[in-house]
């Protein structure tokens, strides 16, 4: 099965839509035909504000989609728990926190503190900023 990620309200590379709500309501409605494993929407601007412009609504897109909805964009543990418990999402994606926390799932499960990521080293192609963050097990062994 296939899942799909869309960024309905996130400007990228200078591209924008005059009426993203109308466009993505159509797209999401049509996606129901494909029985996707999930629909993953970037909530707000990728890596930026979660605020939407007037007339833009993730809730209405969520209502249109008939399958599992994956939320994302700046969620912390409690926000994710709340979103699922309140029915706003079926699951929540974590991107950047995984870079600094290779054991993120365990940390979230235990409500353990997270390593602070160093965005200056993200996507640099080397070990620094990718594989040099300590796990909970590493910290306990010190």
Q: pLDDT at position 92, please?
A: 96
Q: pLDDT at position 111, please?
A: 97
Q: pLDDT at position 9, please?
A: 83
pLDDT digits 0-9 by tens, 1-27: 899 999 888 877 777 778 889 999 999
What are the mean pLDDT values of the chain's consecutive 10-residue runs (142 residues total)? Answer: 90 78 95 96 77 84 96 93 96 91 95 92 77 86 80
C-beta atoms surrounding 42 within 10 Å: 22
Q: pLDDT at position 108, please?
A: 97
Alpha carbon separation from 85 to 36, 81, 91, 94, 96 (Å, rounded): 22, 6, 10, 17, 23
What is the Cα–Cα distance from 79 to 41, expressed in whole angstroms?
16
DSSP assignments along 68-125, one per residue? -EEE-SS--HHHHHHHHHTTS-SEE---HHHHH-TTHHHHHHHTPPPPPP-GGGTT-S
């Amino acid at each position: 099965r296939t899942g799909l990620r869309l960024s309905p309200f996130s400007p990228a590379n200078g591209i924008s839509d005059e009426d993203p709500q109308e466009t993505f309501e159509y797209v999401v409605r049509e996606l129901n035909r494909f029985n996707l494993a999930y629909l993953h929407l970037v909530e707000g601007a990728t890596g930026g504000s979660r605020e939407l412009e007037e007339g833009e609504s993730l809730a209405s897109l969520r209502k249109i989609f008939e399958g599992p909805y994956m939320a994302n964009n700046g969620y912390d543990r409690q926000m994710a728990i709340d979103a699922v418990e309140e029915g706003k999402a079926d699951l929540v994606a974590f991107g950047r926190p995984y870079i600094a926390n290779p054991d993120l799932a365990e940390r979230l499960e235990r409500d353990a503190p997270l390593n602070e990521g160093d965005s200056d080293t993200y996507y640099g192609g080397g070990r620094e900023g990718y594989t040099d963050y300590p796990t909970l097990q590493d910290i306990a062994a010190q």
